[in-house]
Amino acid sequence: MSVKAKIGPSILNADLSQLFEESEKLLNNGADYLHLDVMDGTFVPNLTFGHPVVKCLRSKIKDAFFETHMMVQRPQQWIESMADAGVDQYTYHIEPVLDQVDEISRKIREAGMKVGLAIKPGTDLEAVVKHIPNADMILIMTVEPGFGGQKFMTNQMPKVKWLRENYPLLDIEVDGGVGQETIHQCAKAGANMIVSGTAIINADNQRETISLLRSTVQDAIDA
């Protein structure tokens, strides 16, 4: 048994006025899940969309796996509404709620969603390791959260490598600056869930790009 390569485009880089069409296109082109960036303007400077938008999207896309990446100051505030909106996995940043992580994770599970724990580049891995028993996935940010189109941070790869060596069956996600030039580093380090925004959305051939990212990761898993 081993983890499986999964590619989740970040739709933040898509034309948000065409959110459904863009999402459907990504799924038709082979995306394994949709990565929905939720920002509150407090934890990160930007503001994106909330549960009403996610709920609308779910009403049109019944079967796809939705992961919300909650870049928010109070992740506990949105658990019920995101569960109601049809979210499958609730991934949140631990930094603002370090003393409440296990309690928040339990509430997410009780609401029927999977639990993802995210850390910013400046956060030590040890801050999240003790919470792994209560999580389904760990997200290692490879850029500072809050903005698309940033440069990939190679210095985050040792975190991924350590996690993979110590937790061979854990879902490990990377997000930020991941594309054809950087996927090999992610795959080699042991990431199996790949969030890619610009590189997929703006690709001349989305299907080919998604397929290339996936096969690079799967080959590393199978090696």
Please list the active-site residues: 37, 175
Element (H, E) at 33: strand 33-39
Q: What are phi and psi of 37, to 5 degrees?
A: -85, 115
Torsion of CA 197, 123, 188, 218, to 10 degrees: -50
Supply the DSSP string of 83-131, one letter for each residue.
HHTT-SEEEEESGGGTTTHHHHHHHHHHTT-EEEEEE-TTS-THHHHTT
d(CA 210, CA 135): 26
Report how far residue 18's alpha carbon sits from residue 26's, in angstroms, rounded to the nearest whole number: 12
Rounded distance between C-alpha atoms, residue 147 and residue 13, angstroms: 10
CA-closest candidate to residue 143, choices 10, 3, 4: 10
Give the Cα separation of 70 and 39 in Å (integer). Answer: 6
